[in-house]
Amino acid sequence: MIDEQLSTLQVFLVEPSHTQQHIIGQYLAEAGIVDIKYLKSGSETIAELDHALPDLILSAMYLPDMTGVDLLHTIRSNNASYDMAFLLVSSETNIKYLEPIRQAGTIAILPKPFTKAELMTALKATIDYLHPHKINLHQIDIVDLQVLIVDDSDFSRKYIMRILTDIGIENFTLAENGKQALSICKQHYFDFIVTDFNMPEMDGLQLIKHLRADDDKKFVPILMVTSEQNKNRLAAVEQAGVSALLDKPFEPETIRELIIRLLS
């Protein structure tokens, strides 16, 4: 089934290097993708979006006129292209440069060079993103779930809400940091909370500690979606009582499985 879905994908490959274009394009072709448009700059890509909206944009980090981050932010800021899948291919490892693209909702970050297996995993995540299916929970109507999303990034909040909407959740409340979320939680009950770690005023760890100290919220499922890599900080989150941890970027199928496990 995935082979058939891949064969129908329309892809924009944004890569200034002709050699890299050839290598990546060959990998995409071997995966069954035939509709590939080759572009070399961000401005060229943005101009093309006025004429066609591809299913997936696969971009390098460093383009002649902008970065992959700038390109993704432009895509996510446009209602017409907002839902488009975005895949970054980069040898960049500095979290300072990768963090903004993680927050903006990339499907995956592939290293240079990447393996065919890594590409197929990312393409499968793309198919899951583009063709979601609703989840079924025994004894719980997912449409009635009340979900709180806590993240200081507007892009990240919208991206997570989009993924959760695709699996059938309809009722969302949004908060920009832990302090705001805690205030909201004093007035409303939530069936499920999704939070980031690093936020101003009150981070995700502090929020979890406050919630777990409240008898009424001690057992509310809390999923932390974060790009935090520090093992000691993540261990502190687990000790504080988080229900599950998920990396940014995450695969849509992974968050579906986690929600089923946490709520069933």
- Per-residue pLDDT of 237-263, as tens digits, reads 999 999 999 998 888 888 888 888 888
Query: 2-130 adopts what CATH topology?
Result: Rossmann fold (3.40.50)
Q: What is the 3-state secondary structure (H, E, C) of 58-78?
A: EEECECCCCEHHHHHHHHHCC
Q: Tokens representing 72?
A: 């993704």
Please give the share of the chain, as a percent, with pLDDT higher than 90.
72
pTM over 0.75: yes
Query: 142-263 adopts what CATH topology?
Result: Rossmann fold (3.40.50)
The segment(s) of the chain belonging to CATH 3.40.50.2300 are 2-130, 142-263
SS3 116: helix
C-alpha angle 62-94-39 in degrees, rounded to nearest 5: 15
Looking at residue 227, what is its pLDDT? Answer: 86
Given the structure tokens 């058939």, which residue do they identify?
4
Residue 194 CB burial class (10 angstroms; 0-12, 13-18, ≥19): buried
Closest CA relative to residue 85, chosen from 107, 117, 110, 61: 107
Looking at residue 56, what is its pLDDT? Answer: 97
Say which range, 106-110, 137-141, 157-161, 214-218, has the weakest mean pLDDT: 137-141
pLDDT at 1 over 70: no
